[in-house]
Amino acid sequence: MIKDDEQHDAIQEAVLAKCSVQDGGISGTARLVDKEQDPCTIVIFGASGDLTQRKLVPALYRLYSEGGLPDSFLVVGTSRTEMGNDGFRDKMKKAIPLYCDLDRAMWKDFASRLYYHPVDYHEVSAFMSLRDFLEHIEEQNHLMGNRIYNLAIPPSLYKTTIQNLGQSGLSDQKKRKHGWIRVVIEKPFGRDLETAIDLNNTLRKNFDEHQIFRIDHYLARETVQSVLMFRFANSIFEPLWNRNYISNISIIAAESLGVEHRAGYYEEAGVLRDMFQNHMMQLFAMTAMEPPSLFEAERVRDEKVRLFRSLRPFTSVDQGEDVILGQYDGGIIEGTEVPAYRDEPGINPESLTPTFATMKVFVDSWRWQGVPFYLTSGKRMARKLTEIIINFKEVPHSVFRTVLGEHISTNRLIMGIQPDERITLTFQTKNPGARISLRSVTMDFNYLQNYKGPVLDAYEKVLLDVIGGDHMLFWRQDGIELTWAFLTPILEFCETCSDRSDRLFFYKSGTWGPEPAGDIMKSHDHKFQGKTDS
């Protein structure tokens, strides 16, 4: 005889098996895309580099294996390295098993679509040669000429490559009889407001805005996208999503890793350029933006820009009231001793580059007036953790004050982004027994619970959207300029202030950052998530 809970589970599985994505359910055979995709050629600049091997080609292979790519497509790698088609295919074949399983039969067909053509980024003639090569293989494979140019190259080569794409005619969609052309730009989008504007000017001289896709792969994470769904598809939460009910909001993106092989880049960028201008601002926007009238790319991006315009400017960066900067010292991560930032290979031993920052941000709007947002990110912290924490206000009047006292723990909503993709809600209930007492309990939802379909990696989602021409998860230039302008006072302090060394606080690797960072958040009774475990 089946027990009640076992019978319930059996019924649940039967119902789920009949559900489909189209009717709001869950399916083990869910389609990755719900419309026919245009055939295209994906040209990867920087094909011999780390990003191509670790992310782009493995993501393309997995999309292909899941039926997520067009029936007709080509992938053309290009870089300064001299390499033929076979050499490129062998290189990618070695990289893919580090990312996902490699099916021999499937690989054989996928590899036949991989090509390689060397290019000197500084020579227009090399781009003209690439143009002829692309036209030749597209004609051979009966492709109409839809193209994606993915710039997986160092930012220092962006302008030169974009200019040569234009001068060689590779960017001109109007002169082509058939097809579209799109360009994908990896972050960083400049290193400050001035360079961001300069880069955009170069882009716009050679591409129209609708052709430009500025990647922020954080936005492509499933759980980041679900923040908007959670807010705007549930009537029980959105009415509370304002200054009347929320005390403060904390967004944290902590990493346990150090600078690793990125010392040269990181020494120039620091945590503000590496994380705050892009990833942290996007997480903040998803949490705080107003609801768009429709879930369409431009309307969603309009609301993000409106939010960025409402950010209250920093006025006391040098006094440590709104911003705390830190740099990791030596310590222990997962039982292993790790060096200080200044002792990492390639780092200036007297470096003042911040590897940690926490800032208190305010939005001057009707919804959020007076509600502090705490944005925190850093390297070599206690563990890898990205989450959004909504701290609700205390009850206005404790009817239990004679037996429990005035203070009752507040409700807390946590949206976990990584490594735990989940949503938890903490609330108060009576503790069982004769004695009157409260206890905090948590409702916990695992994002992948009861889902049996394919789960997309961030780069897989990004590539799908570029092929489909969907700008929803990509930056728009006005948003980039507004966020750079907002961070400019902090950047200027970090790089020009004479006493900035006195405002850089050191923290042990394997902890949650410098002590003064906790002081900022304690001012609003915020308890840092993650405790002290490593």
Q: What would the DSSP string read from start to end of 116-146?
A: E----TT-HHHHHHHHHHHHHHHHHTT----
Q: What are phi and psi of 447, to 5 degrees?
A: -60, -35
- DSSP code, position 434: S
**Helix, coil or strand: residue 338:** strand
Distance of CA 52 to the CA centre of its chain: 18
* Residue 162: per-residue pLDDT: 97
Distance CA 472, CA 198 (A): 24
3-class DSSP string for 60-107: HHHHHHCCCCCCCEEEEEECCCCCCHHHHHHHHHHHHHHCCCCCHHHH
The answer to whether the CB of 186 falls within 8 A of the CB of 157 is no
Q: Which of 99, 115, 116 is nearest to 51 (CA)?
A: 99
pLDDT at 302: 96
Distance (Å, rounded) from C-alpha 153 to C-alpha 158?
A: 7
Phi, psi values for residue 287, rounded to 5°: -80, -35
pLDDT of residue 434: 64
Return the ∠ at Cα 153 (arms to 151 and 155), rounded to 5°.
100
Go through 414-443 and write b for each residue having 16 or more CB atoms within 10 A of its CB, e for each that does not. bbbbeeebbbbbbebeeeeeeeeeeeeeee
261 carries an active-site annotation: no
Q: What are phi and psi of 495, to 5 degrees?
A: -110, -15
Q: Compute φ and ψ for 73, nearest 5 degrees.
A: -155, 155
Q: Mapping DSSP to helix (H, G, I), strand (E, B) and coil, where does residue 447 land? A: coil
Q: In what order do the strands lie in the sheet with 212-215?
A: 114-116, 73-78, 40-45, 147-151, 181-185, 212-215, 474-475
Identify any residues that bridge with 75 across adjacent strands, giving them in sequence order: 42, 114
Q: Which residue is listed with tokens 């052309």?
A: 181
Euclidean distance between CA atoms 376 and 275, whole angstroms: 10
Per-residue pLDDT tens digits of the chain, which is 534 residues long? 444 444 444 434 443 333 333 333 333 334 567 778 899 999 999 999 989 999 999 999 999 988 889 999 999 999 999 999 999 999 999 999 888 888 888 999 999 999 999 999 999 999 999 999 999 999 999 888 899 999 999 899 999 999 999 999 999 877 666 689 999 998 889 899 999 999 999 999 999 999 999 988 778 777 788 888 899 999 999 999 999 999 999 999 999 999 988 888 899 889 999 999 999 999 999 999 999 999 999 999 999 999 999 999 987 665 567 889 999 999 998 889 999 999 999 999 999 999 999 999 999 999 999 999 999 999 999 999 999 999 999 887 767 665 666 567 788 999 998 888 889 998 878 777 667 667 778 888 888 787 777 777 888 989 999 999 999 989 999 999 999 999 988 888 877 776 777 889 999 999 999 988 877 665 444 444 434 333
Q: What element of type H or E holds 281? A: helix 281-288
Say if residues 168 and 186 touch (Cβ distance below 8 Å).
no
Which pLDDT score, from 0 to 100, does residue 196 have? 94
Q: Quote the pLDDT of residue 325.
A: 92
Say what the pLDDT of residue 12 is.
Answer: 42
Mode of pairing for the β-strands spanning 181-185 and 356-361 = unpaired
pLDDT for 527 equals 42
Instruction: Show the CA angle centred on residue 330, arms to residues 325 and 335, nearest 5°.
Output: 120
Q: What are phi and psi of 348, to 5 degrees?
A: -60, 125
Residue 10 CB contacts under 8 Å (≥ 6 apart), including other chains: 2
CA distance 185 to 196: 12
Instruction: Give dist(CA 318, CA 303) in Å, integer.
Output: 31
Are 40 and 70 contacting, i.e. CB atoms less than 8 angstroms apart? yes
Strands 385-392 and 181-185: unpaired
Q: Which of 117, 279, 471, 526 is catalytic?
A: 279
**Structure token pair of residue 525:** 């009774």
> What gap in Å lies between CA 120 and CA 168, rounded to an integer?
13
Q: Which of 335, 313, 444, 348 is nearest to 382 (CA)?
A: 335
Residue 386 is inside which H or E element, if any?
Answer: strand 385-392
Strands 438-446 and 422-430: antiparallel
